[in-house]
Amino acid sequence: MPAALPPALRPQIEMLLGTAVTGARRLTGGDINDVWRLDTVKGRAVLKASRPGRADVFAAEAAGLELLRAGGPLTVPGVIAHGDAPGGWAYLLLEWLEPADSTPAAEEALGRGLAALHRAPAPGFGGTAPNSFGRLEQVNGPEDGAAEFFWNQRLAPQLRLAAGRLDAADRARFEALRGRLPALIPSEPPALVHGDLWHGNVLYSDRGPALIDPAAAYSHREVDVALLHLFGAVPERVLAAYHEAYPLTPGWRDRLPMWNLYPLLAHLNMFGASYLGRVRSALDAALTDR
């Protein structure tokens, strides 16, 4: 991964910004793309780029950011431009958000803002263009309900990709879960979800809590709540503010492993067998009678 801004990208990015780039610093945290903070006399911006690049992937991410911006009060970085550049690069140019501390007030604002996003009217389950979860394509076809969407558009594609890593017992247990999903998933209206809401995709900025790197879709709101819990503890103030604004259906904690089967399968497919144990543990928990 290049530490400095690649020369092939610089002329196009400077044209789009309308000024010269005076500095570029690599940002950490991304597993899929190269990411830089760009400094100019007009301010800062963020550049995400990949080579070989697919401009359609960044176009889908830009669309997801715009959905989140329209859907609720949380801060979302503005999209400046996206497309192809010389040298086989694809890019997404975004507004820079100045980091700030994660204060109690900011944590409460995150909980309330996420609840408002999830309460906004949504047209149905699925029905948006494909986008990406990590480096994997994410399909978002329309479905009649949350259980159908979760199986057909989320679990089934990942299970096909993971076929060589799962044994017959794994496949049988996933089929058992498929039959139980309609009873396990609470009946709620569809919601616009971020779709990849682990803590690394939440920023505390000087404009309030912000969401980045979405895999946005119309789905069940517990998808986001589960992902918040996948790789670390969630501050109690975030959960308390969320529950005050939009209480979750009882038993939501028991359903976290079920929802997180999707990101865990995706990680199995992206990063290998080290995630197989977590997939099996989550499947055990999802099938446990309570």
Active site residues: 196
Give the Cα separation of 237 and 256 in Å (integer).
19
Give the Cα separation of 125 and 102 in Å (integer).
33
Please check whether residue 208 is in contact with residue 106, taking contact to mean a CB–CB distance below 8 angstroms: yes
Give the Cα separation of 215 and 122 in Å (integer).
16
Structure tokens at 131: 């986008």
The CA distances from residue 52 to 32, 55, 90, 205, 215, in Å, are 12, 10, 7, 31, 21
Structure tokens at 86: 């010389």
One-letter amino acid of 254: D
Structure tokens at 68: 């989140």
Give the Cα separation of 168 and 38 in Å (integer).
50
Please check whether residue 220 is in contact with residue 185, taking contact to mean a CB–CB distance below 8 angstroms: yes
Structure tokens at 183: 């009873």
The residues that bridge with 99 in the sheet, in sequence order, are 205
Give the Cα separation of 113 and 121 in Å (integer).
15
End-to-end CA distance of the chain: 48
Give the Cα separation of 72 and 61 in Å (integer).
17
One-letter amino acid of 76: V
